[in-house]
Structure 1
Amino acid sequence: MTTRLWLIVGLTLLAIDLRAAITGLPPLMGDVQQALALSGTQVSVLATLPVLCLGAFAWLAPHLAHRHGTHAAVCAAAWLLALGAALRAVPSPTALFAGTVLSGAGIAIGNVLLPAVIKAHFADRIGLFTGLTMTLMAASGALAAGAAVPLSDAAGWQSALAVWSIPAVLTAAVWGLPATPGAAGRHRRTPSPTRKPMARPSDGSLLRCALAWWVSAFLGLVSLMFYVLVAWLPQIMRANGYTAAESGLMTSVMLTIGIPLGFVVPVTAARMRSQRFLVAAVATAKLISLAGLLLSPALGWLWICLLGVATGSAFPLAMTLLGLRTNGPRTAAALSGMAQTLGYLLAGVGPLATGLLHAATNSWHAPLAVLIALLIPEAVTGMLAARPGHVRSTPHRCPPLPAPALTDTQPIHNRKGVEQVLTDG
């Protein structure tokens, strides 16, 4: 099997891992709570913990990739995810929370490295492979949510949680193969004094780059909206008079609509010099659908379908910008780490704050109104992030190095001796 085909297989397995372990838990929450005698507070923390872990551990990914290579870092992320998924099957609250943290850490690292892998190995097909991975993420997330209860009925909730360690182990095996360039089995050559070393993530900062902040804020607001709806849409629709079964089906339909859009949107965005039209279209669709749920809930199915189009387009668009707004794999990893750290920490607050607001007002009108208001900063940051250009890091003030650091914009003939390191890290 050729190296490129192995990379595609590895990328496919990685994408499958990045949603299933998160979406497979909520449908089983009632069984888990009853089996482990969890309190209401513990259940609330457990529901929020995966998203918070995505932000808390995302910053580790660029540093792991620099020190050990991108492929080895992906392999480690897959092992963390496999261990966490297996640990959650142990009938103990401590094991459940520890496994959730480990799974979240693995998913966070994999999320950050995904754009860097695509940028490094498929730079000529960013839209195509981003679309492929977004589609697989959406499909695996929907599959995990839909299969959770049948698997639990057939083999118990422990098996339904542990089953997602299987694709994670396969992912680790593929990315750990010595046959793939830069994999864990291949040692990186230490640059000689005549070679230009790969710059570390700390050699430059994106924190003073406005474009990096716009991309980060857009991803955060898009993610906040998505996770709030996933967490609370069934309750919102039940409050509007729909049955529990129909409310759950509405959430499933919203997620399913996003599966083909996960492919179409990145491919379309990559062909555009500016993606502002897509940002405006997504914001408009969200505004109409959320306003419809607030003002005319009787047409719930219409608003749910439109909301599926909007949310199914927004996240793939934000992830595509991580590749389009950078000029190399190292910068893509740095921007992805920054955006997902800040973005998911912001997103993690959303479901909890929405629940508290609902409890305080005893109505879903105020939470829906807040979501509509948040469309303003989402649209503004999205418009700024979608403008043509690349992020640029700002060097820290530090003593000069013996040799200048390699940058993503250097011509390829100046990269003698470090091509493998660039591919690796």
Structure 2
Amino acid sequence: MSSALDAQRPTRRSGQALLLWGLLVIAANLRPSLTGVGPLLDQVQADLGLSAAVAGLLNTLPLLAFAVISPLVPRLAARRGPERVLAGALLVLTVGIAIRWIPTVAGLFGGTVLIGAGIAVGNVLLPSLIKRDFPTKVGLLTSAYATVMGGVAAVASGVAVPISEVAPGGWSTALGCWIVLALLAIALWSPQLRTPPPVAAAVHGGHRLPWKSGLAWAVTAFMGLQSLGFYVVVTWLPGVVQDTGISPASAGWLLFLFQVVAVLTSLAAPALLRRARDQRGLATVNSLIMLAGYVGLLLAPEWAVVWTIVLGFGGGACLVLALAFLGLRAHDAAGAGALSAMAQSVGYLLAAVGPVLFGLLHSVSSGWQAPLILMCVAAFGQAVVAMVAGKGTVRPSGDHQAPDQTPAPAR
């Protein structure tokens, strides 16, 4: 008996290592197809004759896809198994990248919708799978996949224009080259398809979203507000700083700096999560750091480099915390999937509105003061909901008891 168990351990360890590598490479696919678009928008508009408003939909459509598809994922995963659903999502993502490689308006927007659909499924299922397969390392592995996701996103922003300048096909190849990473994810994830499909009992449970939970709504609000901040900064930071006399090229590097600082901050998050009894203090402080960055841009925009670093510092930590809450606040893996679906559906709908409202306020007021005040209010609201979202456990759907306030382990 002992020798049989000893023989199984290496197999189990290698299986978990393969699973972890698969999850991290999937995480690497969740942002580059989005963040690589912004630097190429001018080229895309010129080649296809798109107006600025129509071109802006390329950043909005994926977020709307997240909002629409996220609530459907837990039920689908319960019926088919999360491994198979995630494999299907990777296939959809790959097809979307291939279609968007075609330099036509139909290919550009059709591919973008498919890319958004594929990423939406990955956004929901990764926290659930981490909660299920690595329950004692939720904080650590959430930080790891957030770091990979943010790091590849930053690289995509930085290399988009250089690739378009040297590769045949220009901007379409710069957008389409990420198909290589998607195919690698499919290859690494394919062994997980040997997992048996869910049993009948699992199919009928574990997929109801916790709409009646106040704690779930706090987590959702935190996810939505930090996402709103990220997409507003990614969309509008270059425009804000260019009005202070910074060149377009330098403004692009500031955006790269924001993402690099966010990635470096996410590397430090696991140590902070392990030391904290709960996450209320961390989430509140980092939300206030975001507030300080917006106030700085409002009052002293000439110090844009400093405020970019401040925003990256707070934003990187808030992203890790928002993703970690999906596992730490959940009762089990099914609960993590349901909470993830709810938080990302409403959260990304709010994120989709943010850049549009920010731009509208800029147009109406002919300046950046009103939109930056909006972001100050959003960051303050994020700090408020952080005090609730950072502690407790969301009860499974159908359980109407008060939320359990016993802190979930943050490891």
Given that residues 81 and 106 in structure 1 are in contact (C-alpha distance below 8 angstroms), is that contact kept between their aligned partners in structure 2? yes
Instruction: Report Cα offsets for 1:135-189 as digits up to 9, x if no partner.
Output: 0011000011111111111112121111111111221222222xx3xx2x44426
Q: Do residues 381 (structure 1) and 393 (structure 2) align? A: no
Given that residues 53 and 105 in structure 1 are in contact (C-alpha distance below 8 angstroms), is that contact kept between their aligned partners in structure 2? yes
1:299 aligned residue (303, 306, 312) = 303
2:125 aligned residue (101, 113, 119) = 113
Q: Identity rate of aligned residues, in percent?
A: 38
Given that residues 279 and 382 in structure 1 are in contact (C-alpha distance below 8 angstroms), is that contact kept between their aligned partners in structure 2? yes
Q: Do residues 329 (structure 1) and 333 (structure 2) align? A: yes
Structure 1 residue 288: deviation in Å? 1.9
Q: Partner of 2:394 in structure 1?
A: 391
Structure 1 residue 97: deviation in Å? 0.5
Q: Do residues 249 (structure 1) and 223 (structure 2) align? A: no
Give the TM-score of the pair, scaled to structure 2. 0.90
Gap regions ≥5 residues in structure 2: 1-10, 401-411
Instruction: Report Cα offsets for 1:245-284 as digits up to 9, x if no partner.
Output: 2221111111110112223224422542311111221122
Q: Partner of 2:59 in structure 1?
A: 47
Q: Partner of 1:278 in structure 2?
A: 282
Bigger share in helix: 2
Gap regions ≥5 residues in structure 1: 398-425
Alignment map for 1:133-152 (pairs within 5 Å): 133-152=145-164
Given that residues 290 and 372 in structure 1 are in contact (C-alpha distance below 8 angstroms), is that contact kept between their aligned partners in structure 2? yes
**C-alpha distance 270-346 of structure 1, shift in aligned 2 (>3 A):** farther
Aligned-residue CA RMSD in angstroms? 1.8
Whole-Å separation in 2 of the counterparts to 1:328 and 1:263: 25
Given that residues 75 and 173 in structure 1 are in contact (C-alpha distance below 8 angstroms), is that contact kept between their aligned partners in structure 2? no
Aligned length: 386
Whole-Å separation in 2 of the counterparts to 1:197 and 1:343: 27
Instruction: Report Cα offsets for 1:381-421 as digits up to 9, x if no partner.
Output: 1111012x210133299xxxxxxxxxxxxxxxxxxxxxxxx
Structure 1 residue 198: deviation in Å? 4.9
Q: Partner of 1:132 in structure 2?
A: 144
Q: Partner of 2:370 in structure 1?
A: 366
Whole-Å separation in 1 of the counterparts to 2:368 and 2:198: 58
2:205 aligned residue (196, 200, 209) = 200
Given that residues 87 and 186 in structure 2 are in contact (C-alpha distance below 8 angstroms), is that contact kept between their aligned partners in structure 1? yes
Secondary structure of 2:276's aligned partner: coil
Structure 1 residue 96: deviation in Å? 0.8
Secondary structure of 1:277's aligned partner: helix
Q: Partner of 1:162 in structure 2?
A: 176
Given that residues 53 and 101 in structure 1 are in contact (C-alpha distance below 8 angstroms), is that contact kept between their aligned partners in structure 2? yes
Q: Partner of 1:405 in structure 2?
A: none
Secondary structure of 1:66's aligned partner: helix
Whole-Å separation in 2 of the counterparts to 1:7 and 1:80: 20
Give the TM-score of the pair, scaled to structure 1. 0.87
Q: Do residues 309 (structure 1) and 313 (structure 2) align? A: yes
Whole-Å separation in 2 of the counterparts to 1:301 and 1:162: 32
Whole-Å separation in 2 of the counterparts to 1:313 and 1:217: 16
1:80 aligned residue (92, 101, 118) = 92
